Structure 1
Amino acid sequence: AQTQLGDWAGGSGQAGWLDGQPREMITTVLDGLRATEGVSVQYARGADILTLEDDPNGRTFPDGQPRPPVVVPCAPDQQLIAEAVAAAEQSDVVVAVVGDRIELVGEGRSTATLELIGGQNALLDALIATGKPVVVILLASKPLVLPPSTAQAAAVIWAANPGMLGGQALAELLTGRIEPSGRLPISFARHVGQQPTYYNQIRGQHGDRYADLTQAPAWAFGQGLSYTTVEYADLALARTELGAGDDIVAEVTVSNTGDRPVRETVQVYVRDAVTSVSWADRELKVYRQVDLAPGESARVVLTLPVADCTIVDAAAIRRVEPGAFELLVGSSSRAEDLLAAGFEVR
């Protein structure tokens, strides 16, 4: 059995956010799961998100343009949470669908926090406390901060804005009919005060950590899991001394060590060890996607022009500086996910 929770199951931004997008044209996550053969679904709303009020300064700006309404977060509703917990305790798996609303997205709708609005954090805390496997689906247009309890979730899926048939796609993903293969194009912070958390920061820009929190994001650029496990080994360069007009040619062994097929995104980053100006610690330069059957290994060849390993110098000229570099290859931008091999540019 699956339990579908959250405002995104029905009357929310996904189902009625623009004229011309009527409800009958939208497949929500709840719709997608209910249409899946062999799945029994209970539904509980679980949380309210927000209400809207007129801006205290008036409905329009001095030039007559409309002001966006003011968002008022809803307080956690203990009755809604209790109903959701009761449904969860009767189920095998909990699917908790949370996120933002169209009123929190777009021009004139910046938010002071990245946390889930309304009763959603309290809902997640209560569901995860049941001990049932909880899959958190985040439908959000920006990298929101999830509560610490989600570290105990069985999985977290960022669906962004999945479109009119997003619920069908998510149901197929949840039930194993398709393999998850996406990779994060942004990093997700642990706390709004941790920003910025983009991966290609200038070395030494923020030190190693905050006094009360690591600098490492909750989920990093390039990160993403599947229903199997993948290992990287034996990174090797064809040549370690190169000129500015040469190509970097590397090979790495990528192995599917699980029992499901996988489409793995092999990511290639470059670190310029010593630069004449402050520069990013590492930058994504190229990637390759490799399909592997269960138990299969492949020797993946990666090619990158040295001409792409540039910085912008003090004279605002983009160029390759001679010296020591590192090629970093792995499954995400996290240092612990990357193998390294050094090379020299003459």
Structure 2
Amino acid sequence: MKTLCTKKRVSISIVLFATIINPSCAAPGAAYQDASLPVEKRLDDLLSRMTLEEKVAQMRMFHANLGIRFSDDDQLILSEDVQNRLAQGIAGIKNPGEHLTPERAALLNNQLQKYTIENSRLNIPALFVTESYNGVDAHGSTRFGRPINMAATWNVELTRSIWDAIGREARLRGMHMCHSPEADIVRDPRFGRMSEAFGEDTYLTTEMIVAAVTGVQGGYDGTGRNTTHIGAVTKHFAGYGQVLGGTNFAAIEISPRTLRDEIFPPFQAAVQRAHTLGIMASHGDINGVASHANPWLLTEVLRGEWGFQGYVVSDSNDIARLHSFMKVAETPEAAVKMAIKAGMNVDLYSDIAFSLLPKMAKQDARLMKYIDRSVSHVLRTKFILGLFDNPYIKLDEVKQGVRASSSLELAKRMDEESIILLKNKKKTLPLIKEKVGKVALLGPLLNDSTKAAFEAAAGSAVEFSAEKGFKLTNEVRGVPELTKNNEQAIENMVSMAQEADVAVLFLGGDEFTAKEAFFNGALGDRDSIDPVGQQDELMRQVKAVGKPVVVVLKHRRTLSISVIAEEADAILDCWDLSEFGDEVLAKMMFGEFSPSGKLPVTVPRSIGQLPFHYSQKEINYKKGYLFSKPGPLFAFGHGLSYTSFKYANLKLSDHELARDGKLVVSVDVSNTGEFAAKEVVQLYVKDLIGSVTRPDKELKGFRKIELKPGETRKVEFTITPDMLAFTGLDMKPVLEAGNYDVMVGTSSAEHQKASFRLKYCFR
């Protein structure tokens, strides 16, 4: 890498690529600049050359909104604040160029990287960091459905392909890491961030996390370089989705056994199977111990047990909050010391946390080993991503790589496979163009483009009317307010339903009724999971017209849709689809393809049933509640099709399983209907007797298959003893001899059953 020693040339805040005259520029030929050497040798050499201040700079990140802009003539503009922050180098910068087109973002990030490198005495590049809940969180990128939609596909390979596209698009913009995906298990729909994760189940989430991390990192296997994609920062470690009351920043109470058996596995798989380059610590605590100051969590488990070699970054400002919010540190300096000793490596955003380390380390030299440890993890990541050798984006590749036709097709396919047919009374769906004269598209979740999408799908044979009626809220970002009742709007929509042959109601929730509750006073969690506002009343009145009613459910949290489930003739559960959602939905509704999504969560009848995930302990189902029906409204794994499937001939290869053996489970699945369609075949296992109380059942495998009408396919699963291990009485992994049930079917509630015995007990 060529050493750059250049002069500073700044006009007000407009920076024209140049930096300080630096007589101490790294000497050409330094080992860390030699791309042929092993990463660890380069790392050791670079670390030996760095000052304390330079090391601490590699432990901090700031947001581009502090003063990184692009002029109309494509020149980098840096505020004085940003120039000061880059004087000693930086670990990374969040979201540079997020509001620019991909081409201009790449141009800006090349200039920003050049400035950063030339201002660094040792020419150390920066990590540019994004987020990726439904594609790269930046203007002009492909917008996919959210992670909960990915989980609803139950298609691991499709999920991997989507994240592969995300990783490519991000790198082409000049990004290097993303604060995604979320490995949290989310079981409380009061929590506004529910759709950012992959649902309630440990196994499904684990498989989706491995697919997401592997995809976004371009198949990086823990060796060599990753130069075409970005690195994942898997979050929030750990237990973040378990916040009490479903409210952001609340305490987290998880039994050590639940933590080991249900919460940790997706994170462990992200580290050991997918080789995630980053981990983000959780906002919360675990049983009173703040995650950002938990050496057992961040060092003993993450690094000692799992072998993690990447860096651990704080969630926004959370190291400083050990003092100001969590109140487990007497002073900001105490918070810094707690965090760095526990295993935190990078401070996201704060100016009163790791920025204190130079002064603290000069007073206490014992901190240097923790600083060196942290810097090593950050710099190793930069070497792995090839930033020292090729820090810039080839601009001629951006246009053809971002929003490529293959990425757009992936977004559509994900929509096709994630939509869940919850109910289809008397085969209301699909709609037959030749039999439906007029369709009324109604309700608050109707988009401006929905009518056009349906007209394109149905053609001239069907007439459409459309009316949104009312908004759910005033759509204020921080604390939105519900809109007032509008009886006239309901009357208008009822009148339109009367004039139509079929009414399609667009109901549920949106980005204002389920969202992150930010620290600065914003709210996004709810103490009710009923649909907000007048939606149930609209459902009742339109149903009373006597025409078939199809509900399109759009939402970002599980809703207790008891009224909708009772009144609607058909329900299509869409969660939060991609930019092509209405186009795909319309085609599905008119029978171009069959729904194949399955619920990644349990849908309760009311908030009073919570917690209500399917894999609770068996004893939790002993008693129901007065004056309400038992069981869920819709079970985990549920999802209908336009065709019908028959399961038969469930067989086990043996009825005993030895410690070094395996069982093959097979079942014949037949398409007994008239549509070609996809089905998710699900495998559940139940430990009938355990030394500790055991789950009612646990998902242990699934296969998504496609069958033509009349076609039968044998589906096989392999059960190994390790799949049956759990945390025993002594808090160590254990296998216990005994009897197990195997259940294979179309959901957690509908399946065939067989049994086997684990012959021996081993630890």
Q: Shared topology, TM-score over 0.5?
A: yes
The CA deviation at 1:117 is 1.1
Checking the alignment, whether the CA contact within 8 Å between 2:539 and 2:567 is kept in structure 1 is no
**Which protein is richer in strand relative to its size?**
1
Take 1:190 and 1:31, find their aligned partners in 2: how far apart are those partners?
Answer: 35
Moved more, 144-153 or 221-230: 144-153
**Which protein is richer in helix relative to its size?**
2
Structure 1 counterpart of 2:670 = 255
Structure 2 residue 730 is matched with structure 1 residue 315: yes
Q: How do 1:2-21 and structure 2 match up within 5 A?
A: 2-10=439-447
Checking the alignment, whether the CA contact within 8 Å between 1:47 and 1:123 is kept in structure 2 is no
Checking the alignment, whether the CA contact within 8 Å between 1:48 and 1:74 is kept in structure 2 is no
Take 1:212 and 1:73, find their aligned partners in 2: how far apart are those partners?
Answer: 32
The CA deviation at 1:101 is 2.5
Structure 2 counterpart of 1:35 = 456
Aligned residue for 2:552, secondary structure, equals: strand
TM-score by length of 2: 0.40
Q: Which amino acid aligns with 1:87?
A: M
Q: Which amino acid aligns with 1:271?
A: K
Structure 2 counterpart of 1:96 = 505
Take 1:238 and 1:52, find their aligned partners in 2: how far apart are those partners?
Answer: 57
Q: From the superposition, tell whether residues 269 and 147 of structure 1 become closer, same or farther in structure 2 (CA, over 3 Å).
A: closer
Structure 1 counterpart of 2:467 = 44
Structure 2 counterpart of 1:111 = 526
TM-score by length of 1: 0.86
Aligned residue for 1:8, secondary structure, equals: coil
Q: From the superposition, tell whether residues 74 and 231 of structure 1 become closer, same or farther in structure 2 (CA, over 3 Å).
A: farther
Structure 2 counterpart of 1:339 = 752
Q: In the alignment, which of 488, 510, 521 is matched to residue 79 of structure 1?
A: 488
Q: Which amino acid aligns with 2:611?
A: P
Checking the alignment, whether the CA contact within 8 Å between 1:46 and 1:123 is kept in structure 2 is no
Moved more, 276-285 or 286-295: 286-295
Moved more, 93-102 or 208-217: 208-217
Take 2:547 and 2:729, find their aligned partners in 1: how far apart are those partners?
Answer: 56
Q: In the alignment, which of 192, 212, 217 is matched to residue 632 of structure 2?
A: 217
Structure 2 residue 607 is matched with structure 1 residue 192: yes
Checking the alignment, whether the CA contact within 8 Å between 1:98 and 1:138 is kept in structure 2 is yes
Q: Which amino acid aligns with 1:232?
A: Y
Checking the alignment, whether the CA contact within 8 Å between 1:124 and 1:150 is kept in structure 2 is no
Take 1:312 and 1:214, find their aligned partners in 2: how far apart are those partners?
Answer: 34
Q: Deviations over 1:101-132 (max 9, x none)?
A: 22222221111111111111111111122221
Q: How do 1:269-308 and structure 2 match up within 5 A?
A: 269-308=684-723
Moved more, 293-302 or 87-96: 293-302
Moved more, 288-297 or 260-269: 288-297
Q: What is the aligned-residue identity percentage?
A: 30
Checking the alignment, whether the CA contact within 8 Å between 2:738 and 2:758 is kept in structure 1 is yes
Checking the alignment, whether the CA contact within 8 Å between 1:29 and 1:166 is kept in structure 2 is no
The CA deviation at 1:70 is 4.4
Larger radius of gyration: 2
Take 2:526 and 2:451, find their aligned partners in 1: how far apart are those partners?
Answer: 28
Aligned residue for 2:504, secondary structure, equals: strand
Structure 1 counterpart of 2:597 = 182
Structure 2 residue 264 is matched with structure 1 residue 264: no
Q: Where do 5+ consecutive residues of structure 2 fail to align?
A: 1-437, 518-523
The CA deviation at 1:328 is 0.5
Take 1:187 and 1:252, find their aligned partners in 2: how far apart are those partners?
Answer: 25
Take 1:29 and 1:117, find their aligned partners in 2: how far apart are those partners?
Answer: 22
Structure 1 counterpart of 2:7 = none
Checking the alignment, whether the CA contact within 8 Å between 1:237 and 1:250 is kept in structure 2 is yes
Checking the alignment, whether the CA contact within 8 Å between 2:741 and 2:756 is kept in structure 1 is yes
Moved more, 312-321 or 137-146: 312-321
